[in-house]
Amino acid sequence: MTLIISVFEQGFIYAIMALGIYITYKILDFPDLTVDGSFPMGAAITAVMINAGIPAVLTLPVAFLAGGFVGMLTGVIHVKLHVRDLLSGIIMMTALYTVNLRIAGKANLPFYNQPTVFDNDAVNGFFPEGMRDFQTVIILLVITAVVKLLLDWYMGTKSGFLLRAVGNNDTLVTSLGVDKGRVRIAGLSIANALVTLGGCLFAQQQRYFDVTMGTGTMVIGLASVIIGTSLFRKVTFMKVTTAVILGSVIYKACVAVAIRLGLAASDMKLVTAVLFLIILVLSMDKKRKVAS
Amino acid sequence: MLELLHIDKTYNPGTVNELCFFKDFNLKINTGEFVSVVGSNGSGKTSMLNIICGSMDIDGGRVVMNDADISKQKDFLRHRRIGRVFQDPSKGTCPEMTIMENMSLAENKGHPYNLSRGAAKMRRDYFRSLLAPLELGLEDKMDIKVGTLSGGQRQSLALLMSTMTPIDFLILDEHTAALDPKTAEKIMILTDKIVREKHLTTIMVTHNLRYAVEYGDRLLMMHEGRVIIDKSGEEKKKMEMGEILKKFDEISLEYGN
């Protein structure tokens, strides 16, 4: 039971991050490695704020905005300085490693006894004693649902239309008299804001920040996006954002099963890589396989 | 009015592949003119369009639009007054978005792309009324992704989208070249209708000499970055296919095209 709850908890947290990666990878067609740095940045900011006694709920908007800023920088490096997409992300990821260490002050910063968004006087008073085990997962469900609905709403606005158009056919965006570079920057900004928010929630669920916790964020997020979008491709009534969230939960379940089968936590990166490879190969179109 | 004044353009300057393309190129297009441009491959037709639209930098000279020098203006800013249809039908539309969404995007050109609803339901009937005269049945496929449409359908939609908002210039870059002859004919008739109805100043590059002769009120033939035939009004009407074809053969033979 605890295992299932934990799968959902982590699945929802990573889902928020995966929604960001969905924007960069699927919509903007931009493999953004910044996320390996912006995810732990969310955790670092959270750890420092909570240790300073700032109400936990404030960490969410701060992390979100900080992530937006970092994503904007990646966009500016790519669009204005004409650095290739992958390299722009790698530059930012590398820079953020130091930034994260500076924010936290050290490589590992725990906050075991401080209140978090999942565990503070207000929510503890709201949930009855018997619900304690489900408290975190319910709060996460609500946050994830709100993020999903906001993102769905945004994608239906004029600005969201433009974002979808720029990854699809940027010539059209220019024809519409709009600077495609600025649309890209905005997209990267929103994506990293979501990833950093994921990092913020992850830190509060784990109750620590660790400078290495971002390694593999991109791969985990991509795996979730690809699982979700390819498994539920045929389910036409389901929104892509919902599919990504489910993909993230399924991915976490696979990892939990792997651990259950006796793999050590230190094997996880290899498991992640192999899982990702399998998912990638399985999800490829038949056509593309024939072509290669 | 659109003027290209003393345009210089050299490809790969400073290398062995240096190629002087335009040297003191001048062209003036009056408001309301429908100009068709023909020429062999590499004659500079598409380069000229790219220079007008700002997708290609120039080394010298000026691009003047309605008496304002736009040589330094970014491409997307120039496109606020220019509608452009490309040879490749996929360039004028968004394949992953529906017809409704594509038309909503196009209709908003010139207005801010803000957080208001992207596709307004109340515009649906209006969009359908624009699509119906195409007689392609697109008005009944409003919620279908454009990527699933045929090349001709997409090009018709692209043409419609590029002229939905008030623009000063319409740039057609071999916009019928990728279509089968019958569809190309339909698109040409539609083009002529839109240009006449909206009084658009139009530059149409085409490989089809017949279209160049039949449509438009001015004909340019380009060769090696120069205009070698420029006929308008009565002069153009008197021109015959044979005459242009002869000239075309001359330049083609000369360069083994």
Average the pLDDT over A30-38 and give the result.
95
Q: Which long-range contacts (CB under 8 A, 24 or more apart) does B231-235 make?
A: B232/B33
Q: Report residue B201: phi and psi, to 5°.
A: -75, 120
Q: How far is B162 from chain A (nearest CA, A)?
A: 8
Q: Say how far apart CA B12 and CA B14 lie, in whole Å.
A: 6
B104 has a chain A CB within 8 A of its CB: yes
Give pLDDT tens digits for A71-122.
999 999 999 999 999 999 999 999 999 999 999 999 999 999 999 999 998 8
Give pLDDT tens digits for B23-78.
899 999 999 999 999 988 878 888 899 999 998 889 999 999 988 999 999 999 99
Average the pLDDT over A194-215 and give the result.
95
Give the pLDDT band (50/70/90) at residue B12: confident
Least CB-CB distance to B118: which of A160, A175, A177?
Answer: A160
Q: Say how far apart CA A241 and CA A146 lie, in whole Å.
A: 12
Prediction pTM value = 0.90
Average the pLDDT over A15-39 and give the result.
95
- Looking at residue A166, its pLDDT comes to 95
Q: Which stretch of DSSP H or E encloses residue B9?
A: strand B2-11
Which residue in B has a C-alpha nearest to residue A165's C-alpha? B94
In this structure, what is the dihedral angle of CA atoms B117, B122, B125, B130, given to the nearest 10 degrees? -50
Across the interface, whether the CB atoms of B75 and A174 are under 8 A apart is answered yes
- Looking at residue A69, its pLDDT comes to 98
- Looking at residue A289, its pLDDT comes to 42
If one compares B249 and B231, the residue with the highest pLDDT of the two is B231
Of A230, A213, A223, A218, residue with least CA distance to A258:
A223
Across the interface, whether the CB atoms of B79 and A175 are under 8 A apart is answered yes
How many CB atoms within 10 Å of residue B165? 17
Residues 6+ apart with CB under 8 A from B187: B152, B155, B156, B159, B175, B176, B179
- Looking at residue A287, its pLDDT comes to 41
Give the pLDDT band (50/70/90) at residue A235: confident
Predicted confidence (pLDDT) at residue B115 exceeds the cutoff of 90:
yes
Rounded to 10°, the helix A59-79/A35-51 angle is 150
> In angstroms, what CA-CA distances link A292 with A26, A273, B125, B146?
22, 22, 45, 27
Predicted confidence (pLDDT) at residue A288 exceeds the cutoff of 70:
no
- Tokens encoding B35: 């100009």
Q: How far is A236 from chain B (nearest CA, A)?
A: 13
- Looking at residue B257, its pLDDT comes to 44
Please report, rounded to a whole number, the percentage of residues in chain A having pLDDT higher than 90. 75
Across the interface, whether the CB atoms of A159 and B115 are under 8 A apart is answered yes
CB-count exposure of residue B253 (10 Å: 0-12, 13-18, 19+): exposed
- Looking at residue A110, its pLDDT comes to 95
Which residue in B has a C-alpha nearest to residue A171's C-alpha? B91
B72 has a chain A CB within 8 A of its CB: no
Least CB-CB distance to B114: which of A159, A168, A169?
Answer: A159
Q: String of b and e for B137-150 (b: at least 16 CB within 10 Å)? A: ebbebbeebbeebe
- Looking at residue A130, its pLDDT comes to 84
Which residue in A has a C-alpha nearest to residue B84's C-alpha? A175
Average the pLDDT over A277-290 and give the result.
65
Average the pLDDT over A185-195 and give the result.
98
The least confident of B47-61, B91-105, B239-253 is B239-253
- Looking at residue B254, its pLDDT comes to 56
- Tokens encoding B7: 């345009």
Across the interface, whether the CB atoms of B93 and A169 are under 8 A apart is answered yes
Of B74, B204, B98, residue with least CA distance to A174:
B74
Across the interface, whether the CB atoms of A176 and B97 are under 8 A apart is answered no
- Tokens encoding A60: 């969410």
> Among all chains, which residue has been given the structure tokens 């401080």?
A114
ipTM of the complex: 0.89
- Looking at residue A284, its pLDDT comes to 72
Q: String of b and e for B15-33 (b: at least 16 CB within 10 Å)? A: eeeeeebbbebebebeeeb
Predicted confidence (pLDDT) at residue A291 exceeds the cutoff of 50:
no
Which chain B residues contact residue A177 at CB under 8 A? 76-77, 79-80, 109-110
Phi-psi region of A177 (alpha: psi -120 to 50; beta: other; left: phi over 0): left
Which chain A residues contact residue B95 at CB under 8 A? 168-169
Which residue in B has a C-alpha nearest to residue A174's C-alpha? B76
Predicted confidence (pLDDT) at residue B256 exceeds the cutoff of 70:
no
Give the pLDDT band (50/70/90) at residue A54: very high
- Looking at residue B252, its pLDDT comes to 66
Predicted confidence (pLDDT) at residue A290 exceeds the cutoff of 70:
no
Average the pLDDT over B188-204 and give the result.
93
Q: Say how far apart CA A123 and CA A230 lie, in whole Å.
A: 37
- Looking at residue B255, its pLDDT comes to 53
Give the pLDDT band (50/70/90) at residue B113: very high
- Tokens encoding B200: 């658009």
